[in-house]
Structure formats: C-alpha cells, structure tokens
Amino acid sequence: MKTSPILITGAGQRVGFYCALQWLEQGFPVIATYRQERDALNVLRDKGAQLIQANFQDNQSILTFIDELKKTTSSLRAIIHNASTWVKDDTTGEAMSTLLAVHIQAPYLINLHCKHLLMASSSADIIHVTDDNIRKGSADHIAYCASKAGLTNLTLSFAKSFAPHVKVNCIAPALVMFNEHDSDDYKQHAINKSLLGIVPGEQEIFKAINYLLESTNITGEILHINGGRHLK
C-alpha cells in the first residue's frame, strides 16, 4: 500500500529541516512548508520532498496554502505543526497578531481542512510543537507564550474531535538549540535552568515525534521535553 506523506511546517531550517531530512532518508514521503527560500531546501528537493511556500501570517495566505496542499496529496500520514516565530513583545499589536496567526490560526485551519486527508491514511497523527513555558509563562515573550498555550489547547479539542482515527498530541520543549546570536552568558543561563543541563538538539524532538507516531494509545497528551526544568 502507498505510504501517505508526512506534512511538516517550517522545514527551511533547524528542527523542521532535520526532521524532514531524516524521514526522507528513511524513505518516507514528505511534504514540507517554508516561508523563505534557502539553500537547505534544495537538499530536501533533491531527496524528493514536495515543498510548498507558505507564509502563515494571515488568513488568506493560510487558505492559499491549504488549497495548494489539497492539490498535492490525497492523504496524509501526519501533520507536524512546527512552524513558529519567536518574536519579542511589542505595543503595536503586531507581535500578537503574527503569533496568533502562525501558532493558532494556521494549525487550526489546516487541521479542519485536512481531516479527510488524515482519514484517508491507515494511521494518522497530528502533532503540535509548543513550548515548556506554557506551564509558567514567560516575562519577556508574553505573546509568544500565550499563543503556544493556545496551540496546546487545540491539542485537547482536536484529540476529542478527530478520535478515534486520528491521534492528536503536543510536544512542549524547553531549550532545544541556540540561535546564532545567543551570547555565552545567555547560553549558560539557559542551560542552568534545567536539572540535566544539556542542549539536546533537533534529534531529541525528532525522536519524540516518532515515539508519538508509533504509539497506539496516546492522544490529547502534552509531552514536555525540558531536562527537568520544572523541578528546579
């Protein structure tokens, strides 16, 4: 039987790129979204990925992406909502609007429009990638954290709505990997927040996603990957 593709959003770099490449190298079909063209995308293209450009900043662009996706495949093994922007708060309202669009509106509309594609696959999953800070909030990323909390709540509702055929879960990482401009002081401060004190890297998220994809009796769950940060 033909294997239905995995859709992962935000595959142009870092976690999304790593996961897409691993699946392709393991022989799984992949559909991936990107916002801006990058050299790395040609690596995915060369491995057979179907790439769709999408900016989830606003409703129309989300709906345009969904139309393109429906023309691309008749089924989906999984939808991994990884695309994300980690912007600081602002008083213009722009940060909150963008974050709500990317972290809530896009996953919400994609899930609603693509239920039939998941139903056409012999097994089906949705995984929302959120943030460990949904538990405690974040003083300097208020809008980001609120939008990730909203995405976490979508997990509970879609798990109820799409059961029993589709499992819907959430991965809530703390520090996964740094950004290129992070200072040494910032890095040490972030590492010190957890009990295990490591920077796990993309592979930790990839392994967690695959654990959920291979599970048979987990839905509506939030899998925190935080090095014991909640106990410190």
Q: Is 186 a catalytic residue?
A: no
Q: Among the options 18, 108, 144, 186, which is catalytic?
A: 144
Q: CB of residue 174 vs ligand LV4SOB2L: minimum separation in angstroms?
A: 5
Question: Which window, 48-56, 82-90, 115-123, 212-220, contacts ligand LV4SOB2L (CB under 6 A)?
Answer: 82-90
Q: How far apart are CA 220 and CA 66, in angstroms?
A: 24
Could you tell me which residues come within 8 angstroms of residue 197 by beta carbon, excluding any fewer than 6 positions away?
191, 227
Residue 79 or 83 having the CB closest to ligand LV4SOB2L: 83
Q: CB of residue 25 vs ligand LV4SOB2L: minimum separation in angstroms?
A: 24
Q: How far apart are CA 177 and CA 199, in angstroms?
A: 6
How many C-beta neighbours within 10 Å does residue 83 have? 22
Q: Which of 5, 44, 56, 114 binds ligand NDP (CB under 6 A)?
A: 56
The interface partner of residue 190, options being ligand NDP, ligand LV4SOB2L, none and the CB cut-off 5 to 8 Å by kind, is ligand LV4SOB2L
Q: Does 179 bind ligand LV4SOB2L (CB under 6 A)?
A: yes
Spatial strand order of the sheet with 124-129 comes to 50-53, 30-34, 6-8, 78-81, 124-129, 166-173, 222-225
Q: CB of residue 54 vs ligand NDP: minimum separation in angstroms?
A: 6
* Distance in Å from the first CA to the final CA of the chain: 48
Alpha helices in the chain (DSSP H): 14-25, 39-46, 59-72, 94-100, 106-119, 142-162, 184-191, 202-214
Residues 13-52 that bind ligand LV4SOB2L (CB under 6 A): none
Residues 78-137 that bind ligand NDP (CB under 6 A): 82-86, 102, 129, 131
Provide the annotated active-site residues: 144
